Structures are given as C-alpha cells and as structure tokens.
C-alpha cells in the first residue's frame, strides 16, 4: 500500500528555474570566494615569509659590509665590541636574532648571552663558500627564517659568518594581522556575489514567470508542437521590423525557402502592399493580399508583453482555394441571373406572342416568335459547338446574358474553338470570368456602341484567350500596375466584404502565373487582354 502522504509528495511542484539558479549561483559564489580566500591566505603567508627573508638578508648584507664588524672579528675580544652593537641593530631592524660567529661556528654574539661561545645551530657551508643564502631552521629560539652570509677579509678569505633571522612565531603574528583584511575582502566579495545573484534571480523569475525547468521545457515542447501543427501561418515581427518567428505554414504561404528569422521584412521579397502592411505594423483585420501564387487573408495585431509594445503578431490564411470556389460560385450565380433575365425576356416575348394571337395576327405572332427563338438559339449553338468545356460554355453564355442586361453586347469571335484543355476549371473561370467582367465594366465607361469581343482557341499545345472592349482603354504609363492588387479605373462602390476593388486582374495574373502561362495587355483606346496557357498532355490528363 502507498504510504500516507505520498500523493502530496507526488503533487509537489518542482523548484522554479530562478530558485535553482539562485542556489547554484550562491554555491558557485561561495566556492569561488572560499577558494579566493584560501589563495589570498597562501599568498599573504608567502609574502610575509618573503618579507622576513628579505629583512634578514638586508641585515646580514649591511653588517658584513660594516668596517666595525671586520675590525672586531680580527680583534682580541670580538664579543665585547660586537654584542652591544649587534643588539642595537637587532632592535632597530625588528629581527629575532643576529649572530656573528667564527668560521668554526663559535658564536661571538647572541640575544641570549648564555649562548655566546657555543656552536651555531644551522647550515653554514654556503656561507663558507662565499655566498649569502636563506633557510628555515630550528635553533635555540625555535623555528626561524634566517639569512646567513660571510664576512670576507682584505685577502678574500672568510674571517667570520653572520646570521640574522625572524622566528616563525613572529611571522605568524604578522600573518594574523593580515587576516582581517583577507577575511573582510572575502566577506565583501561574498556579499556582492550574493546581491548580484539575488538581483539576477529576481529578474529571471519575472521573465520565466517563476516556472520550473521542467515546466519551461514542457511549454517549449507545446510551443513547437503548436507552431508546426497549426494550419494558419504565423509571423512575429519585432519593433525593428525583423522576423523573430515564422512557422512552417507561414513559410509555405509566403514561398520562403529559408528560415526568415532575423531578416528584415523588406528583404523577404514579398509583394509591395504586404511589405508595406508589415512595415507599418498597423492593426489589420481580414485584409486580402495577393502574392505570386496565392490569395492570403492577413490579420495583424500589436504584441504587448508586460504592457509595452514590442512588435506585431501576423496571421495568414490561405484564401486561394476559397477564392477559386467563390469565382465558380459567382459564375454560377451570374449564369442563374442570366437565366432569370432570359426567363423574364422569354415571358415578355411570350406575352407579346399571345397578345398578337388574341388580336388575330397569328402570322405576325409566328414570325415574331420564330425570330426571337432563332436569335437566342444562334448564340447558344455557336458557343456549344465551339467550346467543348462545359464550364467555359456556361460561363460565356451567362456572361453574354448578363452583359446584354447591362446594355453591352458580348460577341463570340468566329475563331473560337476549344476542346478538352485539361486545365483546372476554377482557374479558367477566374481568368476568363474576370477578364470579361473587366471588359464589360470598361465598355460601360466608353461611348456607344458598347461591345466586348471574346476569342478562345487552341494553337499548337497552347490555349489562347483574347478579350477586347470598346472602353476608354489603359494609358501606357499604367501598364506596370494593371495587375497589381488595388489598381482600378472603377469608381469606389460596394464590393464583397474583405475583397475591395482592384482584385480581379490581380487574381487573373496569379492564376496565369500558377498555370505557367503569359499575360499581356495592349495600351490605348479599347483595351485588349491576351492570355496564353500551356495545355495538358494526355499523359498529364491521365494522372
């Protein structure tokens, strides 16, 4: 059985990352300060010892160069002359002892007069060889750091030896006086390190929202999963207009081959209007933008971490397929509207025929009905015979009826002849439907007769489309902008929500580009749009 309270232990929250880093930093600071204090203590001890050796050596060098010492060691009673002199020097130099001795170690001087005449305890061989040296040795006064050197006579022989030293106890007391400085420095460093660690931990706690390392890792995993799984494109742009994040869908929708993170928005090669929106960082709701091959719905909002503006969040939705379906729906709606108009016209004609019969003019009634029937059937027969694609045939018939209702004559060029193209019906509706609508609108803006002529035919392995109108045409200086979203010669009137004016020709250019075709427009009075599309081979159709 589980122990009592085990569930509460399992449910206990892990320490936050900031807390763990604070403890780790405190441990590191403590170790560093302790290590530094030990090193400082060792350095201080070495420095005190070196100072003691230097002081002892200086005393020895001063005495061995003194004429008084040289004369005294050659006199009849060296102790009587040297003992008081050496003691004065020892007191002034702050050393523990100064011993002047004969080459055979016999002491002439010593702080303890009882030791005078006895042999010196320590190493003398290097001094007898003519050089001054230092060592640590335990003598009559205990362990000491000492320097020993020769007194050289006029003939170059060693006539005496001098040794001066400082006891280890004295060195220890000097080191003890240095201890408060070492400890104080260590404590100050520890306090500064602790304060810095606390400040860093506090800042880190705010930035990580006091989450533990495991929670941060889990959030990152969820973040990556969401970014790769979501079907909306997501861009994060900072205040300097640099991309900080782009998920897979955003890269696909914007046709970005490389990771754009860190690049400026204007360097991404996006359409000018979309680039301007991202650079301006103004709020945007369901704006439609046309790229090279897609129609995108763009939303943009400011990011406000901690209440401050730090850039924008941009979401992208693919509107291409929906736009194609909308185009087909518009074509069907236009066809239905044309049927309604035709039904209305047929009703008028039927009423006219019935009225003629009621008036007893049956011959005129038959003649009127036959003429109307032949006129309507002639266009239908021509379109059906020339265009095998049912979608294109229905589109042309519907556009013809709609144009007639608006006062524009839609003519089908006699060269029109289209078999199976294998091209997507939605793209064909987008291209031809928008060109015809644009032509009808242009013709309405021109002088009578208001006409639009459509020619669709195959030439080799390509489908050719030509749409002419009798409108005012397109000035040559506007040719570079005709197929950009937002360009239009129409007055601003109601448009479908979210689309706006100037979208039709941009969608035509996009569809033509997607199918690998070409698109051209002739300037001058009466615009002429020409489209050339590669046909699908039988093998491609089979796939």
pLDDT of residue 149: 92
Q: Which two tokens stand for residue 231?
A: 């079907």
What's the pLDDT tens digit per position in 492-511? 443 343 344 456 787 788 78
Containing H/E element for 467? strand 462-469
**Cα–Cα distance for residue pair 255/294, rounded to 1 Å:** 10
Higher per-residue pLDDT: 534 or 322 = 534
What's the pLDDT tens digit per position in 170-204? 665 655 666 676 677 767 777 777 777 677 767 66
pLDDT of residue 496: 40
pLDDT > 90 in the chain, percent: 6
pLDDT of residue 3: 47
Whether residue 449 is preceded by a cis peptide bond, meaning omega within 30 degrees of 0, is yes
pLDDT of residue 162: 92
E-state strands within 337-459: 409-412, 451-459
pLDDT of residue 541: 46
pTM exceeding 0.95: no
Give residue 6's pLDDT band: very low, low, confident or very high (50, 70, 90). very low
**Cα–Cα distance for residue pair 244/180, rounded to 1 Å:** 53
- Give the mean pLDDT of 100-123: 90
Least confident window among 144-148, 167-171, 286-290, 530-534: 167-171
- Give the mean pLDDT of 58-86: 89
Q: Is 213 exposed, middle or buried (0-12, 13-18, 19+ CB in 10 A)?
A: middle
Q: What is the DSSP string of 119-139?
A: BP-S--HHHHTT--EEEEEEE
pLDDT at 2 over 50: no
pLDDT of residue 65: 85
State whether residue 161 is helix, strand or coil.
Answer: strand
Which among 211, 244, 210 is positioned nearest to 227, based on CA atoms?
Answer: 244
- Give the mean pLDDT of 98-126: 90
**Cα–Cα distance for residue pair 37/182, rounded to 1 Å:** 6
The mean predicted confidence, pLDDT, of the chain is: 77
pLDDT > 70 in the chain, percent: 72
pLDDT at 330 over 70: no
pLDDT of residue 531: 92
- Crossing angle for the helix pair 390-405 and 362-386, to the nearest 10 degrees: 130
What's the pLDDT tens digit per position in 340-351? 666 666 677 677
- Crossing angle for the helix pair 390-405 and 425-444, to the nearest 10 degrees: 20
What's the pLDDT tens digit per position in 357-412? 777 777 777 776 676 556 556 667 677 777 877 878 888 877 887 787 788 888 88
What's the pLDDT tens digit per position in 439-494? 888 888 888 888 999 999 988 888 999 999 988 888 777 766 677 765 565 554 43
Buried/exposed code over 172-198 (b: 16+ C-beta within 10 A; e: otherwise):
eebbeebeeebeeebeeebeebbeebe
Q: Is 460 exposed, middle or buried (0-12, 13-18, 19+ CB in 10 A)?
A: exposed
pLDDT of residue 317: 82
Q: Which two tokens stand for residue 60?
A: 């020895």
pLDDT at 520 over 80: yes
pLDDT at 247 over 80: yes
- Give the mean pLDDT of 515-538: 83
Cα 345–chain centre separation: 64
Q: CA angle, 271 as apex, 270 and 276 as ends, to 5°? A: 90
What's the pLDDT tens digit per position in 262-273? 888 888 888 877
Q: Find the Cα–Cα–Cα–Cα dihedral 419, 421, 425, 428, rounded to 10°.
A: -90
């Amino acid at each position: 059985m589980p122990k009592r309270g085990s569930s509460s232990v399992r449910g206990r929250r892990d320490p936050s990352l900031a807390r763990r880093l604070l403890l780790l930093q405190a441990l590191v600071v403590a170790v560093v300060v302790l290590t530094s204090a030990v090193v400082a203590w060792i350095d201080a001890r070495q420095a005190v010892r070196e100072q003691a050796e230097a002081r002892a050596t200086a005393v020895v060098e001063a005495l061995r160069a003194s004429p008084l010492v040289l004369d005294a060691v050659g006199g009849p009673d060296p102790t009587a002359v040297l003992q008081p002199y050496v003691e004065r020097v020892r007191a002034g130099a702050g050393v523990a002892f100064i011993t002047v001795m004969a080459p055979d170690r016999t002491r002439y001087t010593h702080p303890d007069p009882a030791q005078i005449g006895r042999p010196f305890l320590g190493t003398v061989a290097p001094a007898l060889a003519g050089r001054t040296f230092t060592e640590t040795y335990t003598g009559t006064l205990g362990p000491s750091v000492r320097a020993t050197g020769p007194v050289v006579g006029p003939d170059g022989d060693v006539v005496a030896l001098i040794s001066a030293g400082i006891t280890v106890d004295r060195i220890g007391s000097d080191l003890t006086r240095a201890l408060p400085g070492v400890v104080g420095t260590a404590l100050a460093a520890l306090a500064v390190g602790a304060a810095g660690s606390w400040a860093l931990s506090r800042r880190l706690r705010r930035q990580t929202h006091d989450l533990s390392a495991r929670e941060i890792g889990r959030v990152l995993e969820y973040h990556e999963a969401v970014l790769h799984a979501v079907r909306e494109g997501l861009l994060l742009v900072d205040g300097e207009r640099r991309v900080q994040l782009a998920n897979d869908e955003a890269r696909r929708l914007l046709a970005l081959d490389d990771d754009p993170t860190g690049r400026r928005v204007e360097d991404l090669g996006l359409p000018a209007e979309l680039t301007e929106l991202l650079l301006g960082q103004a709020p945007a709701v369901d704006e439609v933008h046309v790229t090279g091959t897609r129609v995108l719905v763009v939303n943009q909002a400011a990011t406000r971490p901690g209440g401050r503006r730090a850039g924008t969040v941009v979401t992208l939705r693919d509107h291409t397929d929906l736009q194609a379906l909308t185009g087909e729906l518009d074509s069907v709606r236009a066809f239905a509207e044309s049927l309604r108009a035709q039904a209305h016209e047929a009703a008028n004609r039927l009423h006219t025929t019935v009225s003629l019969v009621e008036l007893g003019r049956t011959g005129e009634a038959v003649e009127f009905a036959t003429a109307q029937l032949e006129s309507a059937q002639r266009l239908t027969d021509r379109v059906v015979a020339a265009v095998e694609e049912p979608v294109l045939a229905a589109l042309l018939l519907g556009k013809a009826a709609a144009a007639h209702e608006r006062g524009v004559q839609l003519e089908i060029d006699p060269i029109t002849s289209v078999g199976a193209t294998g091209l997507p019906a939605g793209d064909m509706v987008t291209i031809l439907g928008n060109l015809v609508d644009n032509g009808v609108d242009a013709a309405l803006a021109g002088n009578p007769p208001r006409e639009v002529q459509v020619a669709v035919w195959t030439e080799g392995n390509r489908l050719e489309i030509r749409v002419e109108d009798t409108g005012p045409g397109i000035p040559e200086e506007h040719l570079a902008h005709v197929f950009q979203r937002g360009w239009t010669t129409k007055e601003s009137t109601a448009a479908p929500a979210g689309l706006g004016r100037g979208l039709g020709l941009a969608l035509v250019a996009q569809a033509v580009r997607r199918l690998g075709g070409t698109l051209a427009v002739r300037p001058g009075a009466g615009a002429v749009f020409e489209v050339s599309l590669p046909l699908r081979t039988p093998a491609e159709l089979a796939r």
